[in-house]
């Protein structure tokens, strides 16, 4: 009776037909069936809408098409010589080893052995027995003064080509500046290609060093960016990593370490005897504070995970994830990997040497493929298993992304009396000029925000309830009141019955 009374007076539509006594049973069954179908449809629509919202809670829209370029940091530049071992340094090192050799082998023998150290860059090996024998010799005769053990990092540091020899002249905004003075434009950094000359990298290092603010550029054009005059030193080649004479240039976000597997790194080969023009176009993405509630599902703010440096970056996270994997599988760290991502609980870190080449080569493909989410794709099960799984490495919520357009022209020796970047150089075939600049004074800025605020979701769901079930917030209050009233009545009835049963024996005794 109470339920029929509710159906008769509820504000929702089409429910009173179930309680009207003048309607037949078939009419009531018809209305009941229609209400059940509408309720089922409503539940399906709400589940679908909520699933789509939780799957894509964020939305990115174009906010500004004339965002000033002076508000975008100039990208970091990493210049790596394709020759990873200097012939001059290799000759010097070979003489040192020959002097320590008890078997009195000549310098030419040790030059052939030093080539094996280049395999620590690409993890390739041909004669494992020869590598093992040479590593045993190094462990005995080339020990570090600090640890008393052989250190591949120290060896390859002195074998790598020097930035002081590669960089002849450096210009910023048409002003010539010293290239390699301390705390100046360019510094030596470890990248995936070894020791490289790096400009404008303000990321995290193993010494927790935070560099000065990034360089910004408020003008455009080939003359107003970063201009470098490079010395190829083709006669100094000893171990060529790419089988190509020249340089490898990497352009990336200044807050993140350059890691091609993580994305965000643009690479360009620079050939000798050319003048290369690299136009940079930037796209900026900024996120609203409301995104912070959903950020760990789709992206990470710069200040959320400080264990990857002063600012979070996906490349920093992937580099730390790969470092942990290498350390777990091969119990060593390649010399070119910064150790900032290693857990503080690690007691000691062994730098990989020639004895670890077999293990490094075994997992080389695994470390070159990174996934953040396991997706079941038919036919790619094996690839998913052999990839590096880093679920915590999500994109940054706010970042600047760079795209490059490169062109090159033959470099011709200048005979004019005026200013020339190649002034005083007779053989321009062994040098190269690189110009890196912003292409336009404005760029696009995208804004990332939540797809729906709470009141929009509330309004959408309220509209669905009104259209499909004829209900409103008042209807919900009526139902809550009805259910609460019934619970109170049931509780009161049971309590009264219990009291009557408790007094019943006394009544019989009196009788």
- pLDDT tens digit at each of 511 positions of the chain: 777 777 767 766 677 666 767 778 787 788 778 878 888 888 888 888 888 777 777 788 888 888 898 889 899 999 999 999 999 999 999 999 998 888 888 989 999 999 999 899 888 877 888 888 999 998 888 887 667 788 888 899 999 999 889 999 899 988 888 887 655 678 888 888 889 998 888 765 554 455 566 788 888 888 888 999 999 888 999 998 888 899 999 999 888 888 887 777 899 999 999 999 999 999 998 888 777 776 566 778 777 765 555 567 788 888 888 888 999 899 889 988 877 555 444 457 888 999 999 899 888 888 888 888 777 777 766 777 778 888 888 888 888 889 999 999 998 877 666 567 887 787 888 899 999 999 888 899 998 888 777 777 778 877 877 777 777 777 777 778 788 877 888 888 877 777 777 665 554 544 5
- Residue showing tokens 């499909």: 468
Q: What is the pTM of this model?
A: 0.77
N- to C-terminal Cα separation, the chain:
38
Q: Where are the beta strands (DSSP E) in 373-474?
A: 388-389, 399-410, 431-438, 442-450
The token duo for 144 is 């570090």
The token duo for 277 is 């023009």
- Tell me the pairing of strands 442-450 and 274-287: parallel
What radius of gyration, in Å, describes the C-alpha atoms of the chain? 35
Smallest CA-to-CA distance from 387 within 412, 405, 368 is with: 368
Helix (H, G, I), strand (E, B) or coil at 373: coil
Query: Domains in the chain and their CATH numbers?
Result: 1-56+473-486 (no CATH), 67-449 (2.60.470.10)
Identify the DSSP state of 267. E
């Amino acid at each position: 009776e109470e339920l029929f009374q509710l159906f008769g007076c509820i504000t929702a539509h089409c429910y009173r037909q179930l309680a009207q006594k003048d309607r037949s049973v078939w009419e009531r069954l018809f209305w009941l069936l229609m209400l059940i179908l509408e309720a089922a449809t409503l539940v399906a629509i709400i589940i679908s809408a909520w699933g789509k919202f939780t799957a894509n809670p964020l939305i990115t829209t174009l906010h500004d098409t004339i965002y000033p370029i002076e508000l975008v940091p100039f990208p970091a530049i990493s210049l790596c010589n394709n020759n990873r071992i200097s012939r001059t340094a290799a000759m010097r090192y070979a003489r040192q080893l020959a002097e320590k050799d008890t078997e009195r082998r000549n310098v030419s023998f040790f030059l052939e052995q030093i080539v094996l150290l280049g395999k620590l860059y690409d993890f390739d090996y041909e004669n494992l027995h020869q590598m093992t024998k040479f590593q045993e010799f190094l462990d005995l005769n080339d020990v570090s003064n600090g640890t008393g053990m052989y250190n591949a990092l120290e060896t390859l540091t002195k074998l790598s080509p020097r930035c002081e020899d590669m960089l002849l002249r450096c210009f910023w905004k048409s002003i010539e500046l010293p290239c390699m003075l301390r705390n100046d434009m360019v510094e030596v950094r470890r990248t995936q290609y070894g020791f490289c000359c790096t400009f404008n990298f303000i990321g995290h290092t193993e010494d927790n060093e935070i560099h000065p603010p990034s360089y910004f550029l408020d003008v455009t054009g080939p003359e107003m960016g970063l201009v470098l005059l490079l010395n190829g030193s083709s006669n100094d080649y000893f171990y060529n990593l790419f089988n190509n004479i020249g340089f490898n240039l990497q352009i990336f976000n200044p807050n993140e370490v350059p890691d091609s597997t993580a994305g965000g790194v643009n690479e360009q080969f620079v050939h000798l005897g050319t003048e290369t023009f690299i136009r940079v176009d930037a796209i900026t993405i900024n996120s609203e504070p409301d995104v912070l509630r959903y950020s760990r599902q789709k992206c990470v703010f710069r200040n959320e995970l400080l264990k990857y440096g002063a600012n979070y970056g996906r490349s920093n996270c992937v580099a730390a994830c790969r470092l942990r994997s290498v350390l777990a599988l091969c119990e060593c760290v390649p010399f070119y990997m910064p150790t900032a991502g290693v857990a503080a609980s690690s007691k000691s870190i062994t730098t990989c040497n020639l004895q670890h080449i077999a293990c490094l080569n075994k997992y080389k493909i695994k470390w070159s493929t990174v996934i953040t989410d396991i997706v079941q794709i038919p036919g790619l099960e094996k690839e998913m298993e052999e990839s590096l799984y880093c679920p915590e490495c999500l994109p940054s919520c706010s970042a600047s992304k760079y795209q490059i357009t490169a062109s090159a022209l033959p470099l011709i020796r200048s005979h004019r009396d005026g200013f020339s970047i190649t002034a005083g150089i007779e053989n321009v075939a062994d040098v190269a000029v690189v110009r890196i600049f912003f292409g336009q004074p404005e760029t696009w800025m995208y804004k990332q925000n939540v797809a729906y605020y709470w009141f929009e979701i509330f309004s959408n769901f309220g509209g669905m309830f009104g259209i499909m079930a004829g209900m409103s917030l008042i209807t919900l209050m009526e139902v809550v009141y009805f259910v609460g009233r019934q619970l109170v009545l049931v509780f009161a009835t049971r309590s009264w019955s219990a009291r009557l049963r408790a007094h019943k024996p006394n009544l019989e005794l009196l009788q």
